[in-house]
Amino acid sequence: MNFQRLLTTVEEYKLEGISLETLTTLLNDTFGDWLASQGVSSLTMFGDNTVCLNVRGELKHTTSVKGIKTHSRFLVISLDQVADNPEAIADALKCYSSEGDGAYVWVIPDGYMAALTPAEQEWEEHGGGYFSHESICISNTADIDTRCLLEVLYEDTTLENISCEFDVPAHRSVHYRLDKLKNENGEPLIAKDAPVSYKITSRDARVVVQGSRILTSGENSIFASFGTVMAWCPM
């Protein structure tokens, strides 16, 4: 897929006498996923020869390209002026920062950390071994750092919901062992043997979130089961 294909499709639709509103809908339906991969959230036809691309990012620097006008979060293209050089659109999009892949809000509905056996507690105290715990992994593919809020939502109404914040640098990932999180008193932040849900909200960039769980059992934790689940995002 490329911008030449997009421009050719626009011309083909126009030959059928399709209205600008319908043309906008058809183009977003046909090219929406690919445009998203280019950092474009949506396309709007302003006129027979003018299209606006809404960009998922801020303008870093301007460019001087015939037929393309860059603005803070969108660019306007004169199709007849870029017909001979459609890839100039791709070059213009490089003038914008990336706000990343994924979404700003993620939810992991099923969370549960089993309490450790006495043997596992001793094992943990000396810093070794696999034992029951959960983790979240966050990938930030954006050009900007972000700060995330983790909210722990208990099923048991006698337990008070808790939260914490953490940073995820640009083009980096973080992996958090949730059993290692501590409160201001140095105690475990998240209660054991308590069904929970996790909500992760990113402040500045789109991120991708994954949750995982290890459950151990048997003498000396000889048995272990591993589970991995992608979080759900409301998009």
Q: Is 80 exceeded by the pLDDT of residue 130?
A: no
- Residue 71 lies inside a defined structural domain of this protein: yes
- Element at 4 (helix H, strand E): helix 3-15
Is residue 113 domain-shared with residue 187, that is, in the same domain? yes
**C-alpha 7 chain-centroid distance:** 29
Which of 59, 93, 127 finishes a domain? 93
Q: Is 60 exceeded by the pLDDT of residue 201?
A: yes
Indicate the pairing of strand 74-78 with strand 50-55: antiparallel
Is residue 188 classed as helix, strand or coil in its secondary structure?
strand
Q: Number of structural domains, the chain?
A: 2
Q: Is 80 exceeded by the pLDDT of residue 229?
A: no
Q: Is 70 exceeded by the pLDDT of residue 150?
A: yes
- Residue 98 lies inside a defined structural domain of this protein: no
pLDDT for res 117: 74
Residue position matching structure tokens 């980096």? 172
Do 25 and 4 contact (CB within 8 A), yes or no?
Answer: no
pLDDT above 70: percentage of residues in the chain: 91
pLDDT for res 157: 94
pLDDT for res 218: 54
Q: Is 90 exceeded by the pLDDT of residue 113?
A: no
pLDDT for res 47: 87
Beta bridge partners of 213: 134, 227
CA–CA separation, 58 and 71 (whole Å): 9
Give 119's Cβ-side CA count (13 Å radius): 10
Is residue 132 domain-shared with residue 64, that is, in the same domain? no
Mean pLDDT of 201-219: 84
Over the chain, what is the mean pLDDT? 88
Indicate the pairing of strand 172-177 with strand 133-140: antiparallel
CA–CA separation, 183 and 216 (whole Å): 25
Which tokens in the block code for residue 215? 């459950």
Q: Is 90 exceeded by the pLDDT of residue 192?
A: no
- Nearest CA-CA partner of 75 in 91, 53, 45, 95: 53
User: Lowest-pLDDT range, 128-142, 157-171, 190-204, 208-222?
Assistant: 208-222
CA–CA separation, 43 and 22 (whole Å): 12
Residue position matching structure tokens 């992996």? 175
More confident residue, 59 or 215: 59
Burial tier of 211 (Cβ tally within 10 Å: 0-12, 13-18, 19+):
buried
- Residue 235 lies inside a defined structural domain of this protein: no
Is residue 116 domain-shared with residue 191, that is, in the same domain? yes
Residues 6+ apart with CB under 8 A from 21: none
pLDDT for res 17: 87
More confident residue, 207 or 216: 207
Is residue 30 classed as helix, strand or coil in its secondary structure?
helix
Is residue 82 domain-shared with residue 146, that is, in the same domain? no
Q: Is 90 exceeded by the pLDDT of residue 59?
A: yes
Mean pLDDT of 198-213: 93
pLDDT for res 48: 87
Give the Cβ contact number of residue 140 at 10 Å. Answer: 26
Is residue 111 domain-shared with residue 177, that is, in the same domain? yes
Residues 6+ apart with CB under 8 A from 210: 136, 137, 228, 229, 230, 231
Q: Is 90 exceeded by the pLDDT of residue 5?
A: yes
Q: What are phi and psi of 227, to 5 degrees?
A: -135, 140
Mean pLDDT of 120-140: 78
Q: Is 80 exceeded by the pLDDT of residue 207?
A: yes
pLDDT for res 232: 84
Dihedral sign for Cα atoms in the order 11, 17, 18, 21: positive
Is residue 152 domain-shared with residue 213, that is, in the same domain? yes
Q: Rounded to two decimals, what is the model's pTM?
A: 0.81
